[in-house]
Structure 1
Amino acid sequence: MDVTETAPEASLLGSVRTGAASRCDFKLSCRVNDTAISSPHSSFILGDNHLAHFFATGRFLGRALLEGNVTRFHLALPLLKIILGQPVSLSDLEFFDPETYRNLVWVVEHDGVDALGLDFIVWEQLTTADGSTQTVVVDLIPNGRDVEVTDANKVLYWIQTHCRFLSAEAARARI
């Protein structure tokens, strides 16, 4: 049975079913490894009411699941873990950002990371509603820009804080 045949909200639910919500131009999510992850830039692109879009999409997907309908909207495994309250590991970050995942694995596997000059911050490139870009510095820990990453703190602190930020804190309001 097709989702669009059973739902009164056929046009919007149909667009969710056909994958419109999983395209980057819809601004709610992006596709990585053929799965949908929530877009970290939705508030800058859609404005102050961006969370209403996530709420509506979640309701339509929830309704489709409750009615036993199959959608082509594939959520990334880490996103499902976050929704279910399960811990997200370093290997789960490969779904969100494969390049960042490879870089974090390299840091874990090699010694002498203090020579890289890393600190406990993340630089985010945000796109505003008018199309311009803005770079924002996010501290992963209090005063993170003043704390250097060393071999002693790289796994316990830097990798864990990156995992937490990239998987949960950056998407907390949208989930």
Structure 2
Amino acid sequence: MDFLYEGFWFTWVFIPLLIFLARVSDVTIGTLRIVFVSKGFKILAPILGFFEVFIWLLAMSKIIQNLDYWMYYIAYSAGFAVGNYVGLIIEERLALGFVNLRIITHEQGDALIKRLANEGFGVTATDAMGTRSRVNIIYCVIKRSDYKLVANIIKEYNPRAFYTIEDIRFASQGVFPTRSIMRGYGSFPWRKGK
């Protein structure tokens, strides 16, 4: 009877938990690998790919060996869902690379431009014609890690400003605050530039 009880826990709890954790790990690694590929990390991405596939093979081999256990399918699927979430959270926290910030204001943006420049950000501004009136367009390439600071400055100086953010794969010769720790490009010794 003890053997049956131990077999139950092993089959219906322990193995599904291992499958779930393996799937969370491999999907998290896969999500980060895709981000690193898009950012140009040529050495780190293949290393992550190796571990991603290795862990996936371990999880799949358990499922293939035990096709009759429906709990394994649920653990595998739940691990995939949670792995995506965890990977995105980690990627967001890493805040690698640069973004292009385009700010469109209906009012004069001189105070906002001055504040961004005082904070050490490079700013380019131009006048343009919007649908209803003349506008100021302010361009600013920033490190993703500085986004919250810049968003708070925009809200402080022009809370009704419209702005968009676009990922940038590579930036060269920019003006960036010296107080920031260089994150993204250049912070990993194994990244090879173009």
TM-score of the superposed pair, with normalisation by structure 1: 0.31
**Higher relative contact order structure (alpha carbons within 8 Å, sequence separation ≥ 6):** 2
Name the structure where helix makes up a greater proportion of residues. 2
